[in-house]
């Protein structure tokens, strides 16, 4: 079978709803994914950092992914996170994603051992690619040193891209360091390597540098306006539109991000169960929640079409 068309535009690292007992809530998850796709997201990077993915087992993630596809969401819009600290877990979930026809996978480096070598990381990604052994695989590297502590260097990208062209498809750069994102665009975009900013704050800059979009936390609550920047980036309006989404981002990131996204969905969707985070994360305090919602409302933020 052929590879699916590459996703461009805005992807949301979909937050995962949990029930009172911390079990993943499949019904709310499917509903939120549907809302995102009709509200501006080109793709769903389920099982990202903002999804609390690393607080879930492979079996839990497989079940959620299968539920999405069973519910009729298009696999061609899915880019699940499949990188784990355990090589065998990364292989298992990547294989499952490819079999389901997902457009790609977004892979963290193994993140427990620190100070590891590029050679060790190369072997990790190479083993996954070889073991999955499927030409449909499109692997996006996930660079997020502030959380993973283990990063993906330009040298490592070069080596992987040379060995696996077509399979190594791009990167999400969540370093927060624009000079790094720009270097990725400059060095690899012409080799068919799709660069996504890890925050919409860098969306316009990334597109102007030859990147393909962004995969951003706030895509969970503000997908329409972010998509508008993507669709209008060559127009005279672009900088004004960018300033608007940056302003919203800055409100949300005053609070712990994942809990803030969930509190926003809970509030604007009138569905308090959404607030639950799985340990070790916790929900916002009442004061944090009040500050967030007050400021969002004052900015005339809305989530059109969201309902419980």
Among 63, 86, 243, 247, binds its own copies (CB under 8 A): 86
Tokens of 138: 């499109």
63 binds its own copies (CB under 8 A): no
164 binds its own copies (CB under 8 A): no
Among 135, 282, 307, 308, binds its own copies (CB under 8 A): 282
Compute the least distance from the CB of residue 89 to its own copies, in Å: 5
Query: Looking at 68-76, 81-89, 208-216, 238-246, which segment touches its own copies (CB under 8 A)?
Result: 81-89
Tokens of 228: 């508008």
Query: Mask of contacts with its own copies, 93-122, x by CB under 8 A?
Result: ----------------xxxxxx-xx-xxx-
Among 60, 177, 244, 271, binds its own copies (CB under 8 A): 60
Distance CA 204, CA 195 (A): 12
Query: Looking at 133-141, 159-167, 227-235, 276-284, which segment touches its own copies (CB under 8 A)?
Result: 276-284
Compute the least distance from the CB of residue 1 to its own copies, in Å: 27
Compute the least distance from the CB of residue 53 to its own copies, in Å: 9
Nearer to its own copies, 198 or 269 (CB): 198
| Alpha carbon of residue 99 to chain centroid | 20
Query: Looking at 146-154, 219-227, 245-253, 300-308, which segment touches its own copies (CB under 8 A)?
Result: 146-154
Nearer to its own copies, 52 or 200 (CB): 52
First to last CA, the chain: 38
Helices marked H in the chain: 26-38, 58-70, 87-99, 118-132, 145-148, 154-163, 178-188, 203-208, 223-231, 238-252, 257-268, 286-298
Compute the least distance from the CB of residue 50 to its own copies, in Å: 11
Distance CA 185, CA 170 (A): 10
Are residues 258 and 50 in contact, defined by beta-carbon separation less than 8 angstroms?
yes
Contacts with its own copies by CB under 8 A: the residue count is: 41
Order of strands, edge to edge, in the sheet holding 213-215? Answer: 43-44, 9-12, 213-215, 194-197, 168-173, 139-143, 105-107
142 binds its own copies (CB under 8 A): no
What is each CA distance from 10 to 25, 33, 77, 83, in whole angstroms?
Answer: 24, 13, 11, 21
72 binds its own copies (CB under 8 A): no
Distance CA 46, CA 59 (A): 14
Instruction: Say which residues have a Cβ less than 8 Å from residue 39's Cβ, sequence separation at least 6.
Output: 223, 224, 303, 304, 305
171 binds its own copies (CB under 8 A): no
Query: What is the contact surface with its own copies in residues (CB under 8 A)?
Result: 22, 49, 52, 54-60, 85-89, 92, 109-114, 116-117, 119-121, 123-124, 127, 146-150, 277-282
């Amino acid at each position: 079978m052929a590879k699916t068309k590459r996703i461009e535009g805005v992807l949301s690292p979909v937050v995962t709803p949990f029930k009172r007992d911390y079990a993943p809530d499949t019904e709310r998850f499917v509903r939120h994914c549907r809302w995102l796709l009709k509200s501006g997201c080109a793709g769903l990077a389920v099982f990202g950092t903002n999804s609390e993915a690393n607080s879930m087992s492979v079996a839990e993630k497989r079940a959620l992914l299968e539920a999405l596809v069973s519910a009729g969401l298009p696999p061609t819009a899915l880019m699940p996170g499949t990188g784990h600290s355990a090589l065998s877990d990364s292989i298992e979930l990547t294989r499952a994603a490819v079999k389901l026809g997902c457009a790609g996978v977004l892979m963290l480096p193994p993140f427990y051992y620190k100070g590891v070598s590029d050679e060790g990381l190369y072997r990790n990604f190479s083993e996954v690619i070889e073991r999955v052994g499927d030409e449909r695989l499109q692997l996006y590297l996930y660079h997020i040193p502030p959380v993973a502590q283990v990063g993906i260097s330009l040298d490592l990208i070069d080596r992987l891209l040379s060995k696996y062209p077509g399979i190594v498809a791009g990167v999400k750069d969540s370093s927060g360091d624009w000079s790094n994102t720009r270097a990725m665009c400059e060095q690899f975009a012409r080799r068919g390597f799709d660069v996504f900013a890890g925050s919409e704050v860098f969306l316009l800059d990334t597109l102007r540098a030859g990147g393909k979009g962004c995969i951003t936390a706030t895509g969970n609550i503000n997908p329409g306006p972010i998509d508008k920047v993507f669709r209008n980036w060559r127009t005279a309006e672009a900088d004004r539109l960018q300033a608007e989404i940056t302003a919203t981002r800055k409100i949300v990131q005053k609070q712990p991000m994942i809990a803030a996204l969930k509190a926003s969905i809970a509030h604007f969707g009138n569905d308090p169960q959404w607030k639950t985070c799985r340990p070790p994360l916790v929900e916002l305090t009442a004061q944090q929640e009040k500050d967030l919602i007050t400021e969002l409302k004052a900015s005339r933020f809305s989530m059109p079409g969201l309902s419980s």
